[in-house]
């Protein structure tokens, strides 16, 4: 089934004496001694290994086969009803100095964190198999990529990590060459919410996660490594690890601009990354290329521009709301070879969720019970799909470019029903960092807790920054060093509502109209009006052919509410002060500059 399988008594399993993998082998033996599994498996990422794991999970009911005619080689996983989203209140950053974690993170000392977690891990894999997953975040030969190893007792995690990362023998070979890797230890434990913690030890490049089988809590290459640990690495090494999609916009002349965009979870990153241009744009020759839908690692190249890779190899997307109208590329992407989590199913065993609008009806809900709309939705609001990025019709081969793609624009955006216009451009890099730092958004079902509450979510990194936000903002500001050729920074809001509570902007494919204006600003060909909050387009500065906007929509989407922004910047000032003396003075000065201009 796999590269190496032995009972635990014979672990360590590889003859690595004198090799650069000796540290890995010693760690695996140490974890096996702590968790006491019945067997240790070193995963090689092969097709045969994957097929055997799926057969094993089908036999024990962990994975349920879906309709083989409509969704070949696709599966349904139902997680525990109390294990359906990120648990930010149980997620900790364990640094020697509490201030290094910052007020944006829950903190625990490394000693206490290890003690708590090792107590939970003690003997937790009895009767189970321990899987060792070597993986690479990013193209396997890219100097921008970083490797890790996740140890888990969940075969569901193994099959998902195979889709989401470059997993197996090539990653192990790179780890041997480099002699370094991020350590991730995971167990589903008893799936008891009272015994559930996700601990990060950035100074040790270590992650420990216990008690959850859900996506970001269990697929440790994703948010835990690629953002919380990587953001710490990035600060030390002079790059950025960000919660951003990466897309390419190709114009009719065949020129492609790459854009990185940060939105909180469930705020449309995947939809934008896979955007299909409106018919008129398609006829003219515009194309969208998907490099990544969730995470972006960027660093300056030799020419001073920022170059980006998507460290992931797959999509872990939100299913509800995905339809032929909202995201046809995503829907095409998940017709085969896909793992669905917490969706409903139809009578003929097709996956179903609210908003799919495919003419079918659900028979069972995400808990496997007969569907009753008065009881619960068919799909959990945070139901997911896991699929290889290469299945996306708009997939860009540049996703495997070891050098990364050059970024022309960085976009921040949140879910704001009021105040924030459709789009504006930051005055310069410092103002752009403030725009990102002050970003607010209404909460969604991607995290536990109340939905629809406005909170500050800087750079969409509030749940994911592995160190003090004040230091993070300083790190962003440091890129403006007089040598780098930095991208322009923009802010968008697809979610502005009118007096009737309905969205004013059509969104989806029409968002390309906004991207076109941004590219025009990058190239110096598009007009804008200068305001205290940044450069705003007028309605006539966008190509709105075929878009019907009411008078209210035009006024609000392209308007500027001075009194509302005064109150907003007062709030932003208070927010920045929450981080104390570490907050960079230049960012506070920028807030005061904008606040002062709003008072004139």
Residues annotated as catalytic are 267
Is the CA virtual torsion 545, 547, 551, 555 positive or negative? negative
CA distance 506 to 304: 37
Q: Is 216 annotated as a binding residue?
A: yes
Supply 401's token pair: 């470019």
384 belongs to an annotated ligand binding site: yes
52 Cβ contact list (under 8 Å, min separation 6) = 1, 2
Is 215 flagged in the annotation as binding?
Answer: yes
Instruction: Choose among 249, 284, 218: nearest CA to 86.
Output: 218
Q: Is 135 annotated for ligand binding?
A: no
Pairing of strands 287-292, 244-250: antiparallel
Residue 382 is labelled as binding a ligand: yes
- 589 annotated as belonging to a binding site for a ligand: no
129 is in an annotated binding site: no
Run of H or E residues at 456: strand 454-456
376 is in an annotated binding site: no
Whether 374 has a binding-site annotation, put simply, is no
Residues 246 and 296 sit within 8 Å (Cβ to Cβ): yes
The two structure tokens encoding residue 254? 């065949």
Q: Which residues contact 288 (CB under 8 A, 6 or more apart)?
A: 247, 248, 249, 250, 274, 275, 276, 277, 394, 512
The answer for 538, left when phi > 0, alpha when psi is -120 to 50, beta otherwise, is beta
Q: State yes or no: 123 annotated in a binding site.
A: no
Does the annotation place 2 within a ligand binding site? no
392 is in an annotated binding site: no
* CA 1-386-257 angle, 5° bins: 125
270 is annotated as contributing to ligand binding: yes
Does 266 appear as a known binding residue?
Answer: yes
**Residue 217 forms beta bridges with which residues?**
none
Query: Do 444 and 266 form a contact (C-beta atoms < 8 A)?
Result: yes
555 in a labelled binding site: no
Identify whether the C-beta of residue 456 lies closer than 8 Å to the C-beta of residue 462. Answer: yes
Distances from the Cα of 476 to the Cα of 116, 238, 440, 486, angstroms:
34, 10, 18, 11
Cα(157)–Cα(131) distance, rounded to whole angstroms? 9
223 annotated as ligand-binding: yes
**449 appears as a binding residue in the annotation:** no
Residue 483: is it exposed, middle or buried by C-beta count within 10 angstroms (0-12/13-18/19+)? exposed
Residue 86 marked ligand-binding: yes
Is 452 assigned to a binding site? no
Q: Is 510 annotated as a binding residue?
A: yes
Burial of 585 (0-12, 13-18, 19+ CB in 10 A): exposed
Q: How far apart are CA 541 and CA 556, in angstroms?
A: 15
- Residue 336 half-sphere exposure, CB side, CA atoms within 13 Å? 7
301 in a labelled binding site = no
Specify the 3-state DSSP secondary structure of 476.
helix
Task: Find all residues with CB under 8 Å of 543, minimum gap 6, and list them.
Answer: 513, 516
Rg over CA atoms, the chain: 24
The answer to whether 529 touches 535, Cβ cutoff 8 Å, is yes
> Has 89 been labeled as part of a binding site?
no
Backbone angles phi, psi at 249, to 5 degrees: -110, 110
Annotated binding site for GTP: 266-271, 384, 415, 508-511
Could you list the residues known to form a binding site for Mn(2+), using ranges. 223, 243, 294
| Residues that constitute the known binding site for substrate | 86, 214-216, 265, 382-384
Binding residues: 86, 214-216, 223, 243, 265-271, 294, 382-384, 415, 508-511
């Amino acid at each position: 089934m796999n590269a190496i399988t032995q009972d635990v008594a014979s672990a360590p399993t590889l003859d690595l004496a004198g090799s650069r993998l000796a540290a890995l082998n010693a760690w695996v033996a140490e974890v096996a001694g702590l968790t006491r599994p019945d067997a240790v498996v070193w995963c090689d990422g092969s097709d045969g290994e994957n097929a055997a794991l799926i057969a094993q999970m089908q036999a024990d009911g962990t994975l349920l086969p879906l309709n083989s005619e409509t969704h070949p080689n696709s599966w349904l996983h139902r997680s525990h009803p109390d294990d359906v989203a990120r648990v930010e209140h149980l997620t900790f950053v364990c640094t020697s100095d509490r201030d290094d974690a910052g007020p944006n993170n829950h903190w625990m000392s490394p000693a206490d964190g290890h003690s708590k977690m090792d107590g939970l891990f003690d003997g937790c894999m009895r009767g189970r198999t321990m899987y060792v997953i070597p993986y690479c975040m990013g193209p396997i030969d890219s100097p921008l990529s970083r490797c890790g190893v996740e140890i888990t007792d969940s075969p569901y995690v193994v099959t998902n990590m195979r889709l989401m990362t470059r997993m197996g023998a090539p990653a192990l070979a790179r780890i041997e060459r480099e002699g370094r890797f991020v350590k991730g230890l995971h167990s589903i434990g008893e799936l008891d919410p009272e015994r559930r913690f996700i601990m990060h030890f950035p100074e040790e490049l270590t992650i420990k996660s216990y008690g959850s089988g859900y996506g970001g809590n269990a697929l440790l290459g994703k948010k835990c490594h690629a953002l919380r640990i990587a953001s710490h690495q990035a600060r030390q090494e002079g790059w950025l690890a960000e919660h951003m999609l990466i897309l390419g916009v190709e114009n009719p002349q065949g020129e492609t601009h790459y854009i990185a965009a940060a939105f909180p979870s469930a705020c449309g990153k995947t939809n934008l990354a896979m955007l299909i241009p409106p018919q008129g744009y398609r006829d003219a020759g515009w194309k969208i290329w998907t490099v990544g839908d969730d995470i972006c690692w960027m660093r300056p190249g030799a020419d001073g521009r920022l170059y980006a890779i998507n460290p992931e190899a797959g999509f872990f997307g939100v299913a509800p709301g995905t339809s032929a109208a909202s995201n046809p590329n995503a829907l095409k992407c998940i017709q085969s070879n896909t793992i669905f989590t917490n969706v409903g199913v139809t009578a003929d065993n097709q996956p179903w969720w609210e908003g799919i609008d495919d003419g079918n009806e659900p028979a069972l809900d995400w808990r496997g019970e007969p569907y009753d709309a008065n009881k619960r939705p068919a799909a959990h609001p945070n139901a997911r799909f896991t699929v290889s990025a290469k299945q996306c019709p708009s997939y860009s081969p540049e996703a495997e470019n070891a050098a990364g793609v050059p970024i022309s624009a960085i976009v921040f955006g949140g879910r704001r029903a009021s105040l924030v216009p459709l789009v504006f451009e930051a005055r310069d890099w410092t103002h752009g960092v403030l725009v990102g730092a002050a970003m607010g958004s209404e909460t969604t079902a991607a995290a536990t807790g109340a939905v629809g509450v406005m909170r500050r979510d800087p750079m969409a990194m509030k749940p994911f920054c592995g160190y003090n936000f004040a230091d993070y903002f300083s790190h962003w500001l440091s890129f403006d060093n007089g040598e780098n050729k930095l991208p322009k920074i923009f802010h968008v809001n697809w979610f502005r509502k009118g007096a009737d509570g309905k969205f004013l902007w059509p969104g989806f494919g029409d968002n390309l109209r906004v991207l076109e204006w941004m590219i025009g600003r990058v190239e110096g060909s598009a007009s804008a009006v200068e305001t205290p909050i940044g450069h705003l387009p007028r309605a006539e500065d966008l190509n709105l052919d075929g878009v019907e906007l009411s008078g209210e929509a035009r006024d609000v989407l392209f308007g500027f509410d001075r009194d509302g922004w005064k109150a907003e910047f007062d709030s932003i000032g208070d927010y920045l002060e929450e981080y104390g003396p570490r907050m960079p003075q230049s960012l506070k000065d920028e807030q005061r500059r904008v606040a002062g201009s709003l008072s004139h």
